[in-house]
């Protein structure tokens, strides 16, 4: 009750139902664990990089794995998780923006300290960045092209989110909700393709556009955070300067890489045979060839990255 009064949260988000595991979430307990163990993420990153280069070397002279059913289950599970996360964090995000404004949404970590539903799914978001490294496993074992953006994104997000949870970084409210929403669409798209359903090409263009928008908003939130920290009373905006700098560098680098990918994939003049693309960061099977007027033709396919 004291926390709620301190943050002046006179109206809490209207959840139609709160699960028992959400209600039992203890943020300080998990923050302590993360504070003591977040650097373990560097070991995971080391193993991840070793798998990438070692795995690609190992697979050079070996036939690729199909793993189509496994990939279908994997993408479907991540899609379901992201949709659930978006549904459980959006109410708090909307409530704060509507009733308490932009400053609160950026500077007050009530989404972790007060709201147990949002707090639980924020913690799940942070932890999920470790199993999401599995996206790359499919690319390596299926001998698909692995672009820099893919593994750079996975590594930096893992390290940043684990570190940020130790600080209860308040601006993470924006980052968590945006990422859940974009991943809901992205992994649903991947799940459809892995099932053999091929949406129109403009869908992948929209998803990459959403990813670009996410990076632009992320940069804007960090600029606002910097201004709030500089002008607000000391310790009233719950973001460290080092966190703002790390987040800004991360989001800006993502923007540059995603913009480069967007241009090459959708805007740059195509030389030779046209290639259809998918949004980066995961891998889906290429469509099977079908006969068209006696000639092989790729049916609304995608090229994995």
How far apart CA 279 and CA 255 sit, in angstroms, is: 14
Secondary structure in 3-state letters for the chain: CHHHHHCCCCCCCCCCCCCHHHHCCCHHHHHHHHHHHCCHHHHHHHHHHHHHHHHHHHHCCCCCCCCHHHHHHHHHHHHHHHHHHHHHHHHHHHHHHHHHHHHHHHHCCHHHHCCHHHHHHHHHHHHHCCHHHHHHHHHHHCCCCCCHHHHHHHHHHHHHHHHHHHHCCCCHHHHHHHHHHHHHHHHHHHHHHHCCCCCCHHHHHHHHHHHHHHHHHHHHHHHHHHHHHHHCCCCCCCCCHHHHHHHHHHHHHHHHHHHHHHHHHHHCCCCCCCCCECCCCCCCCCCCEEEECCEEEECCCCECC
* 153 is annotated as an active-site residue: yes
| 262: Cβ contacts below 8 Å, ≥ 6 apart | 208, 209, 212
How far apart CA 224 and CA 107 sit, in angstroms, is: 10
Catalytic pick from 95, 104, 150, 153?
153
Active site residues: 153
């Amino acid at each position: 009750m004291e926390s709620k009064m301190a943050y002046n949260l006179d109206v809490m988000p209207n959840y139609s139902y709160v699960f028992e595991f959400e209600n039992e979430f203890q943020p300080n307990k998990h923050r302590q664990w993360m504070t003591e163990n977040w650097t373990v993420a560097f070991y995971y990153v080391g193993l991840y990089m070793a798998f990438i280069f070692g795995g690609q070397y190992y697979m050079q002279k070996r036939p690729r794995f199909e793993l189509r059913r496994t990939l279908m289950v994997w993408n479907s599970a991540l899609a379901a998780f992201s949709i659930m996360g978006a549904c459980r964090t959006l109410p708090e995000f909307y409530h704060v923006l509507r009733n308490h404004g932009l400053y609160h949404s950026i500077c007050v970590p009530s989404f972790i300290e007060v709201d147990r539903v949002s707090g639980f799914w924020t913690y799940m978001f942070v932890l999920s960045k470790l199993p999401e490294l599995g996206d790359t496993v499919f690319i390596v074992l299926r001998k698909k092209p692995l672009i820099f953006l893919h593994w750079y994104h996975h590594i930096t997000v893992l390290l940043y989110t684990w570190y940020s949870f130790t600080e209860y970084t308040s601006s993470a409210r924006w980052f968590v909700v945006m990422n859940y929403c974009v991943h809901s669409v992205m992994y649903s798209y991947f799940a459809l393709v892995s099932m053999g359903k091929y949406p129109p090409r403009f869908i992948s263009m929209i998803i990459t556009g959403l990813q670009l928008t996410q990076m632009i908003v992320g940069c804007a939130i960090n600029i606002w955070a910097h201004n709030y920290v500089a002008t607000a009373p000391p310790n009233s905006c719950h973001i460290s300067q080092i966190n703002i700098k790390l987040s800004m560098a991360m989001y800006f680098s993502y923007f540059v890489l995603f913009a480069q990918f967007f241009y090459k994939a959708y805007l740059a003049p195509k030389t030779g045979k046209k290639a259809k693309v998918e949004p980066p960061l995961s891998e889906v099977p290429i469509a099977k060839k079908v006969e068209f007027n006696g000639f092989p033709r790729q049916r609304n396919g995608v090229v994995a990255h």
